[in-house]
Amino acid sequence: MASRVNDERAPELKGFRDVQRLAYACAEAVAARLKPGVTERDAARMQREWLRERGVRDWFHLPFAWFGDRTAFTGFKVPLQFFPTNRQLEPGMPFILDMAPVYRGFTADIGYSGCLGLHPLHDRLLADLEVHRELILREVRERRPLREIYEDVERLMIRQGYANRHRAYPFGVIAHKVDRVAERRWSPHVFGFGTQSLKGLLSDAVHGHRDGWSPLWSPYRFSDHPPQPGLWAVEPHLGFRGTGAKFEEILVVTDSRDPEQSAFWLDDDLPHVRRWAEERVAA
Amino acid sequence: MSLRDLPGARERRVATGGIELCVVELGEATRPTIVLVHGYPDSKEVWTQVARQLAEQWHVVLYDVRGHGSSTAPVPLRGGFTLEKLTDDFLAVVDAVSPDRPVHVVGHDWGSVQAWEFATVSRTEGRIASFTSMSGPSLDHFGHWIKQRVARPTPRRVGQLLGQGAKSWYVYMLHTPVLPELAWRGPLGKRWPGILERLEKVPPGDYPTASLPDDAAHGAWLYRDNVRTRLRRPRADAYAHVPVQLITPTGDIFLSEQLYDDLESWVPQLTRRTLPAKHWVPRTRPDQLASWIAEFAAANEAAPQGGIPVRDTAPKGAHADRFGGQLVLVTGAAGGIGRATAFAFAEAGARVVAVDRDADGAARTAELARLIGAPAAWAETVDVSDEQAMEKLAEKVAAEYGIVDVLVNNAGIGLSGSFLETTAEDWRHVLDVNLWGVIHGCRLFGKQMAERGQGGHIVNTASAAAYQPSRALPAYSTSKAAVLMLSECLRAEFAEKSIGVSAVCPGIVNTNITATTHFAGTDAAQEQRLRKRTSKLYGVRNYPPEKVAEAILRAVVRNQAVVPVTPESHAARFLSRLSPGTLRGIARLKPPL
């Protein structure tokens, strides 16, 4: 039965997996080109151009880049502060690249944390994200209400000594649904968000509201329901005194009764997952 | 203790310009050299304790400045004490004790004034590796400082001029002929040790030495030969060619802190330190000085050999000048205010002992503290209410990490519920942790601080509930009110030992305390519901523990007695003094739970 679920969705999942890989490849390529003096705007443009050259025409949201203490969202109050600024990268600074391209009708939304040079604290944060990935998957499989999982993630962060920075995200979300996006010749974006994807999210919200669920995974009451089948872009974000780190990738939730198949990460061959594996080997 | 009691001290005499200097060396001569220069009216014995500690790792050199101690005096005295001649002396000593390697210079008072000359004239270039200055400005910088303030006299600058002018009364006195000599050889010389003990809290002992009246009489020429000429015509090129560490005692009655405001323009590589002490720090704070001197010298030994330069290793957090290298112990450090406080001290460069009964949480705090700037951090698992465990902790900390400079008694638990529902067991538990935990901390670590006799600070976390009565928190408020009173009593007693005591009253802060608070007279389900509800209220209030940590560091720096933190805590404190009846009225209200 497990494989049947997989088979049915296999072509669709492959499309999502491809675009997620493309986005991570972009992040790694751009990260490799970052050097002192590059601004957040430059980094965002580099991501945009790299993906455009490879056929991306639409976006769930335009690429972001945060440098230095902006990786921990220090002083973030209004959503406009998310947009790339002229902050320059300096040696030893952490950075986050975040992008959500739409490719052949499939969406990805990824977050990539890196650092220009050695930064033991940043390494620690990245390493500590691993348990969050495990915790989220385990609790989704247990079909715990999303709001409760959110609170458990936050509790874990506080126990680790960190601040929960996705509190600063719009609606405080830790994840949002992603879906296929209709390809249109003209796909404008407003405030950095693609209108086609927003339309999808909005229609999910309307339907969900009727059935008692929400496409946003947040600490609020509207997320007080078990995980809804579909694809969720999950993005736990740790902040600690001016240094921040996150990952973002797609979690597949199905209505299968087999726990293994009821939820799984779309792809396990991603930079942060490889990094944890390498660290384990080194240890 | 005088130098002669120091094990391994080697004395020699160095001839220079017709006089003989008495030079003493300690420690292995193959190691890098630290030269300690004394001030007025001292002799090299002022450094005894500092030298003894440094000698474990360094080659330490002390000498009596010409005309002081066992060195001979120039004839005639007039004109024999110019900074140029003192520089000759210094170079002669350095050539004798460390011919092929630059030395680290440390100067106190006039020793520092001299050493500023050494660090800023070209003929010593390459002979000095670093300079640690305390309580002695460069006369050239001082001259420029005065000129700038006279040239553009804003009210603030005039205030600074008059303030320093008043503090320099003794400089004018020393310019009178003959009288100072008579005073020193007569009554002042006899009374001086007593004056130092009383005003400066210098510990009694065999310092100053018997040569004091002569030293002081000769040393008057330090002032007469240099002050007027330098202040009138300060050198324009008095830039330091070595890294400088400036240690400023905040209670110095002879020098104001503003003297060093513009120092960055003269010193390209400046590290600032502040010390809550009076003028004679080599006698009253030898441990702290030895550790800062050694740390700075070591950093500058590493730098020329491809190591990390001093600037980058210096901590950048708030009050780093004050807490760098100090030992700070925080209880309840696994979360909330305790953890945030440990991190704030770590960012200021302090060494941190994180204590909690939650071993994992304390270990985590210590690990992150190291990552954000603490040179060292350790975790200790102790229940603060356990007297024997606390005694063991105090012994272990003293033996392995040293005497605590700042103690933060923060561990505490919540207890809510009306008096009639609070059981004797509840009472015992909350008093054991909240009050006895603080008593044990103050008793054990406070005793160690007092015995060391080099100052320190104790912070006790009380609560706004300490002065805000409430029908919902009788036991908790009682325990916290006791902590507040204990802190104030202790503050009175410890003042004479230069140990400050502060009580911090945070108010409603978003921490884990609400999730573990016991609600008396409720069953498990009800308690869980109430915990959730209060946690939510505290979450909505969302006052971050980091701000309490900032207030704690500030309280230590300013030695504040009672520190309300949140606005509601301030308001309650204000009302408790202005109109306690209002607070009693509020106390009758049922809490919205």
Inter-chain residue contact B371 with A124, CB threshold 8 Å:
yes
pLDDT grade for B311, boundaries at 50, 70 and 90: very low
**Chain A residues whose beta carbon lies within 8 Å of the beta carbon of residue B338:** none
Q: Which residues contact A259 (CB under 8 A, 6 or more apart)?
A: A141
Q: Which of A60-74, A204-218, B85-99 has the lowest mean pLDDT?
A: A204-218
Q: In this predicted structure, what is the pLDDT of residue B310? A: 42
pLDDT grade for A1, boundaries at 50, 70 and 90: very low
A80-98 burial, b at 16+ Cβ within 10 Å, e below that, comes to eebebeebebeeebbbbbb
Q: In this predicted structure, what is the pLDDT of residue B1? A: 47
* Residue in A closest to B372 by C-alpha: A121
| Alpha-carbon distances of B427 from A218, A226, B331, B439, B534, rounded to whole Å | 40, 42, 21, 16, 21
Between B313 and B179, whose confidence is greater? B179
The answer, yes or no, to whether residue B303 has pLDDT greater than 80, is no
pTM of the model: 0.91
**Chain B residues whose beta carbon lies within 8 Å of the beta carbon of residue A240:** 368, 372
Residue A75 touches partner B, C-beta closer than 8 Å: no
| Beta pairing class for B19-26 and B10-16 | antiparallel
Distance between CA atoms of residues B534 and B485, nearest Å? 27
Q: Which of A29-38, B13-22, B26-35, B306-315 has the lowest mean pLDDT?
A: B306-315
The answer, yes or no, to whether residue A173 has pLDDT greater than 60, is yes
Q: How far is CA B418 from the centre of its chain?
A: 44
Q: In this predicted structure, what is the pLDDT of residue B130? A: 95
Distance between CA atoms of residues A100 and A51, nearest Å? 10
* Residue in B closest to A243 by C-alpha: B372
| Alpha-carbon distances of A211 from A202, A225, B470, rounded to whole Å | 14, 10, 46
Number of C-beta neighbours around residue A192 at 10 A: 18
What are the backbone angles phi and psi of residue B502, rounded to the nearest 5°? -125, 145
- Whether the CB-CB separation of A108 and A17 falls below 8 Å is answered with no
Instruction: Please give the DSSP secondary-structure letter assigned to residue B471.
Output: T
Instruction: Give the tens place of pLDDT for each residue, A225-263.
Output: 999 999 999 999 999 999 999 999 999 999 988 988 999
Residue ranges in B545-591 assigned as alpha helix (H): 545-558, 567-578, 580-588
Residue in this structure with the two tokens 């740790």, named with its chain if needed: A238
Instruction: Give the tens place of pLDDT for each residue, B215-225.
Output: 999 999 999 99
* Residue in A closest to B545 by C-alpha: A163
Q: In this predicted structure, what is the pLDDT of residue A11? A: 79
The letter for the amino acid at B326 is: Q
| Alpha-carbon distances of A141 from A132, A145, A256, rounded to whole Å | 14, 11, 10
Question: Which of B364, B365, B372 is the closest to A241 by Cβ?
Answer: B372
**Chain A residues whose beta carbon lies within 8 Å of the beta carbon of residue B339:** 161
Residue B361 touches partner A, C-beta closer than 8 Å: yes
Instruction: Examine the residue annotation and report whether B172 is marked as an active-site residue of this protein.
Output: no
Instruction: Give the tens place of pLDDT for each residue, B339-355.
Output: 999 999 999 999 999 99
Of chain A, the percentage scoring pLDDT greater than 90 comes to 66
| Collapsed DSSP state (helix, strand, coil) of residue B554 | helix
- Whether the CB-CB separation of B135 and B249 falls below 8 Å is answered with yes
Q: In this predicted structure, what is the pLDDT of residue B3? A: 59
| Alpha-carbon distances of A85 from A27, A104, A159, rounded to whole Å | 18, 30, 32
Read off the pLDDT of each residue in B146-163 and give the average, rounded to a whole number. Answer: 93
The answer, yes or no, to whether residue A4 has pLDDT greater than 60, is no
Number of C-beta neighbours around residue B377 at 10 A: 27
Q: Give contacts of A 122-141 with B, CB under 8 A.
A: 124
The answer, yes or no, to whether residue B313 has pLDDT greater than 70, is no
Distance between CA atoms of residues B116 and B78, nearest Å? 22
Mean pLDDT of chain B: 93
Residue B531 touches partner A, C-beta closer than 8 Å: no
**Chain B residues whose beta carbon lies within 8 Å of the beta carbon of residue A120:** 371
Q: Is the dihedral of CA A150, A151, A152, A153 positive or negative?
A: positive
Q: Which of A10-14, B169-173, B369-373 has the lowest mean pLDDT?
A: A10-14
Q: Give me the torsion for CA of B66, B67, B68, B69, rounded to 10°.
A: 100
Among B63, B207, B476, B543, the one annotated catalytic: B476
Instruction: Give the tens place of pLDDT for each residue, A43-62.
Output: 999 999 999 999 998 999 99
- Whether the CB-CB separation of B130 and B300 falls below 8 Å is answered with yes
Distance between CA atoms of residues B559 and B288, nearest Å? 18
HSE-CB at B273 with a 13 A cutoff on CA atoms is 25
Q: In this predicted structure, what is the pLDDT of residue B2? A: 57
* Residue in A closest to B512 by C-alpha: A158
**Chain B residues whose beta carbon lies within 8 Å of the beta carbon of residue A160:** 364
- Whether the CB-CB separation of A51 and A99 falls below 8 Å is answered with yes
Structure ipTM: 0.89
What are the backbone angles phi and psi of residue A238, rounded to the nearest 5°? -95, 140
Instruction: Give the tens place of pLDDT for each residue, B108-140.
Output: 999 999 999 999 999 999 999 999 999 999 999
Distance between CA atoms of residues B545 and B361, nearest Å? 16
pLDDT grade for B304, boundaries at 50, 70 and 90: low
Q: In this predicted structure, what is the pLDDT of residue A193? A: 84
Residue A240 touches partner B, C-beta closer than 8 Å: yes
pLDDT grade for B7, boundaries at 50, 70 and 90: confident
| Beta pairing class for B103-108 and B33-37 | parallel
| Beta pairing class for A237-240 and A163-164 | antiparallel
Inter-chain residue contact A159 with B364, CB threshold 8 Å:
yes
Q: Give contacts of A 147-186 with B, CB under 8 A.
A: 158-161
Closest CA to B231 of B160, B119, B141: B141
Instruction: Give the tens place of pLDDT for each residue, B431-490.
Output: 999 999 999 999 999 999 999 999 999 999 999 999 999 999 999 999 999 999 999 999
Question: Which of B361, B372, B512 is the closest to A121 by Cβ?
Answer: B372
Residue A66 touches partner B, C-beta closer than 8 Å: no
The answer, yes or no, to whether residue B88 has pLDDT greater than 60, is yes
**Chain B residues whose beta carbon lies within 8 Å of the beta carbon of residue A121:** 368, 371-372
Q: In this predicted structure, what is the pLDDT of residue A7? A: 55
